[in-house]
Each structure stands twice: as structure tokens, then as C-alpha cells.
Homo-oligomer: A and B are copies of this chain.
Amino acid sequence: MASQSEHKATVIDGKLIAQTIRSEIAEEVRQLSEKYGKVPGLAVVIVGNRKDSQSYVGMKRKACAEVGIQSFDMDLPEQISEAELVSKVHELNANPDVHGILVQLPLPKHINEEKVLSEISLAKDVDGFHPLNIGKLAMKDREPLFQPCTPKGCLELLHRSGVSIKGKRAVVVGRSNIVGLPVSLLLLKADATVTVVHSRSNDQESIIREADIIIAAAGQPMMVTGHNDCL
């Protein structure tokens, strides 16, 4: 067992790093606006009244406003049909002022998420969830047009905190399409030795203890904790 000092953790100040990134983006948007007379436009589509989704969407719209990105709000009723939602997506695909489209998940049960997401123009798939983008994310010597935001954020936090990834043992807890899977693919591309553990894994704890980098993306808090003797 390693000594206590080796286990000493540095807490990454995510809020501070986010503020730095937002300032950088605000400056980029200002330059774009000056040079081309245009700002990036992000359409955020929400269907129904889920509290958590409304809160996420609210944060995204607020973040857009802060940095000067034009936000296109599309709030649709829970009862909207799949065909109507698809036609709304097509409208946004055709709108030249909209450069990115986010459809907040989950969608109501009567709507096929895969179908709707696949209708978003690849060039506007800023969530990076289209299987073609995930495939390019996975493959050596290919690059997706967009990377999913949470995985990208994880790597950005490591990078801006001065943590080198190359050759390190990284363990990702969880394998969701939205976080676990793409973050494991990004870490592999960044030359980490990557292990993915999940609900079917035996002996999760000992695997996690061997990691240099742990990304906890299991969808529930407190899955990964310190031992009392290390705290």
C-alpha cells in the first residue's frame, strides 16, 4: 500500500477553469463578429417539462448569452409527434444562422431518440452523438466534426490542470453513449492505457485503486470513494 502522502489529492477547480474557457470563447466570438459580422448560433430543443432537462437547457442558454452566442430556443410540448419533431429539426438544419443543434435527452417515450438524432445535420451535430461522429472519435487517424461535451470537458480539465495522460492507467467507470464510452475513446486516443469498468464488472474496487486517472461516469454519486485509511 502506498503511503498517505502519495494519495494526497489536488481538487480540480472546475468552476475556475470553466470561467477561463468562457472568457476565451467570448473573445473568439467577438473576433468572429468583428471579422464576419456574424456570431455562432446554437439551437437548443427541449420537449416536455422534465425539471432536470429544463435546468440543463436553462444553463446552456445562459452560457450562450454570457459569451455572445446567439441562442435559438425551441420549447416543444410533451405530446409532439415524432414526425413533427423531425420536421422542426429539418427547419433548424435549413436555417443558416443556426450552426449547432442540441436536442435535450431523454425524449418522451413515444419518440424514437435514435431516429430524431440521426436527422440532425452532421455539420450541426454539436453534441457529437451521431454514430458517424462516434465512429470517427473511436478510430485512429480519424477526427469527428464534434466531440461530446462532457468527455471533452473531462480531458480539458485534465489538460488545463497539467495532468499528463500519455502512458497513464485510466479507469472509466460506466459505459454510457453520452459519457463513459466516448471518454474512454478519447483517453485511448490520448495514449492512456484505458480500462472500462461497469455494472457487470467483478472486482471494480481493486481495478479502480490501480488507476492514475479515474473518470466516474456511472450516473450515481459516491460510487468511487477514498478508503478511510487514505483520507
**Cβ contact of A207, chosen from B138, B193, B197, cutoff 8 A:** B193
**Cβ contact of A175, chosen from B140, B168, B201, cutoff 8 A:** B140
B167 touches A201 (CB 8 A): yes
Asked if A195 meets B198 with Cβ closer than 8 Å, knowing A134-B135, A138-B135, A181-B138, the reply is no
Whether a CB of chain B sits under 8 angstroms from the CB of A136 is yes
Copies of chain A in the complex: 2
**Cβ contact of A131, chosen from B139, B181, B196, cutoff 8 A:** B139
Of the four ranges (under 10, 10 to 19, 20 to 34, 35 or more), the interface on chain A belongs to 35 or more
Question: How far, in whole Å, are A188 and B184 apart by their CA atoms in the complex?
Answer: 11
**Cβ contact of A194, chosen from B133, B196, B204, cutoff 8 A:** B196
Whether a CB of chain B sits under 8 angstroms from the CB of A82 is no
B140 touches A136 (CB 8 A): no
Whether a CB of chain B sits under 8 angstroms from the CB of A176 is yes
Chain B's closest residue to A129 (CB) is B139
Whether a CB of chain B sits under 8 angstroms from the CB of A97 is no
Question: How far, in whole Å, are A185 and B207 apart by their CA atoms in the complex?
Answer: 19
Whether a CB of chain B sits under 8 angstroms from the CB of A177 is yes
A140 touches B177 (CB 8 A): yes
A138 touches B194 (CB 8 A): no
| Contact flags A140-175 to B (C-beta < 8 A → 1, else 0) | 111000000000000000000000001111000001
Q: 27 A-B pairs, CB-CB below 8 angstroms? A: A114-B141, A114-B142, A130-B135, A131-B136, A131-B138, A131-B139, A134-B135, A135-B136, A135-B138, A138-B138, A139-B177, A140-B175, A140-B177, A166-B200, A167-B201, A169-B202, A169-B203, A188-B196, A191-B198, A193-B195, A193-B197, A193-B200, A193-B201, A193-B202, A193-B204, A194-B195, A195-B195
Contact surface of A with B, Cβ cutoff 8 Å = 114, 130-142, 166-169, 175-177, 181, 185, 188, 191, 193-198, 200-204, 207
